[in-house]
Amino acid sequence: MDKSKKNKPVVGITLGDINGIGPEVIIKALEDSRILKFMTPVIYGSSKVVSYYRKALDLSDFNYHQIKDLGQLFHRKVNVYNLWEETVEIKMGEENETGGKYAFLSLKAAVADLKDGKIDAVVTAPISKNNIQSEEFKFPGHTEYLAETFGVKDHLMLMAGDKMKIGLVTGHIPLKAVVSALGKELILKKLSVLDSTLKKDFGIKKPRIAVLGLNPHAGENGLLGNEERDVISPVLKEWKEKGNLVFGPFPSDGFFGTLMHAKYDGVLAMYHDQALIPFKTLCFETGVNYTAGLPAVRTSPDHGTAYSLVGKNEASESSMREAIFMAADIVKQRRVNDGEETED
């Protein structure tokens, strides 16, 4: 293997739910010829599934190299790693047990190779959080599964786009459980992970971080809630005293309404929709879901299975493409940090 091939990150891509838009957006994203210049992509799944969607959507210009193990990688083509030989019945747009079964087989194999260092990053295509549940997968989503697999307690769901990077203190939990879940220790941990990933993975030496309040108007000095005064503000005070650039807590409506997010390198939100609604409003086509705090790199497009779009050739591949490029960029940034590569 020549040096140029060796230095290119090997990026695994899971198929996701085979009845969702995952296969379509993967194929469309990998049609971008620039990708092969910067990385070696490996689709974890089945060439039969890929071929089915290529034919069904008339994407005949897409070509790939089939492999049965990573020793057969071809660095100038897209690789499809055949994990199963059987022909699987595809029912486009239908959420069923088959979609969940093969989504997990793809995910399990890719994450195992990522953990073993056989590949450099994983990009996960959308799954149904309902049909993937099994004895082996009892998690709210990818993030929790990856954290458990890598034995990482302090991790962060980070939504990253060209206009904003926003992390979540609480993720996939019911809204009524958010208040009881929030605490000084949890907020401090999430703030620390956000700060660390902005430095390590995105190359920002001295990040400016904005923190949102929980309640309307950030509690209005206790009139609308005490969490800002009693929990969030003390954490920010402690963080500032250590020389970090942290600001807030901000009322989230005014914060996004006045586009204040543009003044900061990262934003920390208290709960899921507080982050995801503004993020998807501003970055839906280019947004990426990144699991910060892992020893390995995992990204994902910021959308779901979109069953209603399957088979219509209408799904946009923009977010998947961005997720693939971001995975490779973070791998390279970590190599720069470790002195393995120099910045261009």
Asked if residue 49 lies in contact with residue 18, where contact means CB atoms within 8 angstroms, the answer is yes
pLDDT at 4: 43
pLDDT in tens, 2-60: 344 558 999 999 999 999 999 999 999 999 888 999 999 999 999 999 999 999 999 98
pLDDT at 257: 93
* Cis geometry, peptide bond prior to residue 295 (ω within 30 degrees of 0): no
pLDDT at 116: 96
pLDDT at 338: 86
Hey, what CATH topology would domain 1-152+296-344 get?
Answer: Isopropylmalate Dehydrogenase (3.40.718)
Distance CA 105, CA 217 (A): 45
Neighbours of 308 (CB within 10 A): 11
pLDDT in tens, 89-136: 999 999 999 999 999 999 999 999 999 999 999 999 999 999 999 999
Distance CA 13, CA 320 (A): 10
**Mean pLDDT over all residues of the chain?**
93
Q: How far is CA 239 from CA 153, 245, 263, in A?
A: 20, 8, 19
Neighbours of 173 (CB within 10 A): 13
Q: At what angle do helices 233-241 and 184-200 cross, to 10 degrees?
A: 50
Distance CA 325, CA 329 (A): 6
Does domain 153-293 fall under CATH 3.40.718.10? My reply is: yes
Edge-first strand listing for the sheet containing 40-45: 65-67, 79-82, 40-45, 10-14, 121-123, 297-301, 288-292, 156-160, 165-168, 266-269, 208-212, 245-250
- Where is 165: in which H helix or E strand? strand 165-168
Asked if residue 120 lies in contact with residue 11, where contact means CB atoms within 8 angstroms, the answer is yes
pLDDT at 221: 84
- Where is 35: in which H helix or E strand? helix 35-38
Distance CA 243, CA 209 (A): 12
Ranges of CATH 3.40.718.10 domains, the chain: 1-152+296-344, 153-293
pLDDT at 21: 97
